[in-house]
Amino acid sequence: MKIISYNVNGIRAAMNKGFIDWLTNADPDVVCLQEIKAMKEQVDIEAIEKAGYKYNYWFSAQKKGYSGVAILSKTEPNHVEFGTGITSMDFEGRNLRVDFDDISVMSMYLPSGTNDARLAHKFEYMDLIHNYLNNLRQELPNLVVCGDYNICHEAIDIHNPKMKGVSGFLPEERKWFGNFINSGFIDSFRFLHPEKQEYTWWSYRANARANNKGWRLDYGMVTQPLQENIKRSVILSEAVHSDHCPILLEIKK
């Protein structure tokens, strides 16, 4: 199974920048999108279905033009789970899951901590989602949680590891990520590429992308039972429809 995860920073804007042609060429089985910033009725669903994704599911934020996740699939899942059932997480449209016979795939968009109130919300979400996923994998042991985690785990994941006091690289956030891994999740990219320094997000300011001053915020996390099935995990930095780039994960079935 070939899975792509992509924070598109607005699906309509990405489609105007050639997203559909790119997607057709990339040809994944499942696509996890974050920050779609749209309701389903605002999206050109016909173009997505023509690209081969007849089965597409959208979980938008209540606030229009904000947040939201989606999953596009070539094959019909057995079950689709919209949200988590936890109100403080679901009203911003941050979690969507599809279950197939032998694997479940979640698109997740973890909040950013742009100010004190949002940082408090981010920490609350981090605690809630960790507990939720720990319980979920008892029921669904073969679980892939793709998405924008809005955290750089290690110094190798950020262009300037001396950065202090900035959400995304706070000691508390990095500790949470370490605990998340220790509880039974594998960072597929780092598992296959322990020394590789690549990024998935660049600020629009100061020519950051051209100078490769980036952060690795997007992850294909898999539960430990899938460790031997991780075939490939790469960052597709040539895709430029967003301030993020997509990541690709291949799981042997």
- Give the dihedral sign, CA 92/128/197/191: negative
Count structural domains, the chain.
Answer: 1
Q: At what angle do helices 171-182 and 116-139 cross, to 10 degrees?
A: 0
In CATH, what number is assigned to the domain containing residue 234? 3.60.10.10
Catalytic site positions = 148
30 φ, ψ to 5°? -135, 140
In this predicted structure, what is the pLDDT of residue 44? 98
pLDDT of 253: 81
- What three-state secondary structure class fits 226? helix
What is the residue type of 246? P
Amino acid at site 11: I
Q: What is the pLDDT along the chain (253 residues), one digit of tens a residue?
A: 999 999 999 999 999 999 999 999 999 999 999 999 999 999 999 999 999 999 999 999 999 999 999 999 999 999 999 999 999 999 999 999 999 999 999 999 999 998 989 999 999 999 999 999 999 999 999 999 999 999 999 999 999 999 989 999 999 999 999 999 999 999 999 999 999 999 999 999 999 999 999 999 999 999 999 999 999 999 999 999 999 999 999 999 8
What pLDDT does 181 receive? Answer: 98
Range of 192's domain?
Answer: 2-251
Per-position b or e across 92-125, b if 16+ CB within 10 A of its CB: bbbbbbbbbeebbbbbbbbbbbeeeeebebbbeb
Q: What is the CB neighbour count within 10 angstroms for residue 204?
A: 9
pTM over 0.95: yes
Q: Tell the residue number behind the tokens 């100010």, with chain if given.
A: 115
For residue 58, list its beta bridge partners. 70
DSSP per-residue letters across 70-120: EEEESS--SEEEES-S-HHHHTTT-EEEEE-SS-EEEEEEPPP-SSHHHHH
Polymer length of the chain: 253
pLDDT for position 235: 98
